[in-house]
Amino acid sequence: MNIAVDTKERILTTARELFHGRSYADVGIKEICTEAQVQKGSFYHFFPSKRDLAMAVIDDMADDWAHGFVAEAFDEALPPIERLDYMVDAVYYWQKAAKNLEGRMPGCLFGNLALEISTRDEVIRARINAIFTKASDRFHEALEQAVEQGDMPPLDTQATATAMLAYLEGVILLAKTRNDPEVVRELGPAIKSIRIELKTPN
């Protein structure tokens, strides 16, 4: 059982790295198996299809994300607005490290996969969408607290949270297209300037 978990884990992390570094379509199962030192038959013992592997990778990454630097960034102990900066910083350092290692900025795995396969696979699309919603919820909490504590004038916290997530994804997209993590550092902090006003009842 130990060996099996290990094998499955090895497939998962390898696939994650390869998908993130290139793309879903560009990485074949053969390559994943070679890199992970697993036989093809073994691969199909653990994953019924490449598509299922993709879903597992997404879930795996979402877990790591949620319990990793997203949890750190949105730590309740931090002042709400600082959480935004923390998040931007975390993205910056991560992308920079990845670029130093591989020479290329991988961007956001979720954003990448969303644009690549969400038009073809409704289930995967919904999965990534759910992850985005969760991420947006973190922003939402922070904004609510910021308003509550008077650090920010009242605003539509829900919509603004989503807008901030969109901005972050957009910044990562642009940075990846320039292959330059510094874009994240330059543009990232402006996330705090984004505002969507409350709908005035009329």
Partner DNA sequence: ATAGCACTTGACCGACCGGTCATCTATTTT
Partner DNA sequence: AAAATAGATGACCGGTCGGTCAAGTGCTAT
Q: Which does 194 bind (CB under 5 to 8 A by kind): a copy of itself, DNA, none?
A: a copy of itself
183 binds a copy of itself, rule: CB under 8 A? yes
Task: Give the H/E segment covering residue 20.
Answer: helix 2-21
Nearer to a copy of itself, 38 or 165 (CB): 165
Give residue for tokens 């910083």. 89
Question: For 200, which DSSP code?
Answer: P
Query: Of residues 44-83, which lie at the interface with a copy of itself (CB under 8 A)?
Result: none
Nearer to a copy of itself, 7 or 136 (CB): 136
Sign of the Cα pseudo-torsion (184, 185, 187, 190, in order): positive
Instruction: Give the other-Cβ count within 10 Å of 199's Cβ.
Output: 8
- From 132, 137, 141, 147, residue interacting with a copy of itself (rule: CB under 8 A): 132
Closest CA to 43 of 15, 1, 18: 15
In the complex, least distance from residue 194 CB atom to a copy of itself, rounded to whole angstroms: 6
Residues that bind a copy of itself (rule: CB under 8 A) add up to a total of: 47
163 binds a copy of itself, rule: CB under 8 A? yes
Here the tokens at position 195 are: 């505002």
- From 2, 100, 119, 202, residue interacting with a copy of itself (rule: CB under 8 A): 119
Q: How many CA atoms lie within 13 A of 96 on its CB side?
A: 11
Q: Return d(Cα 20, Cα 69) in angstroms, integer.
A: 17
Phi-psi sector, 37: left (phi>0), alpha (psi -120 to 50), beta = left
Q: Return d(Cα 140, Cα 164) in angstroms, integer.
A: 9
In the complex, least distance from residue 98 CB atom to a copy of itself, rounded to whole angstroms: 11
Q: Which does 177 bind (CB under 5 to 8 A by kind): a copy of itself, DNA, none?
A: a copy of itself
Q: Which does 28 bind (CB under 5 to 8 A by kind): a copy of itself, DNA, none?
A: DNA
116 binds a copy of itself, rule: CB under 8 A? yes
Question: For 1, which DSSP code?
Answer: -
Interface residues with a copy of itself (CB under 8 A) are 21-23, 25-26, 104, 106-107, 111-112, 114-120, 125, 128-129, 132, 159-160, 162-163, 165-171, 173-174, 176-179, 183, 186-187, 189-190, 193-196
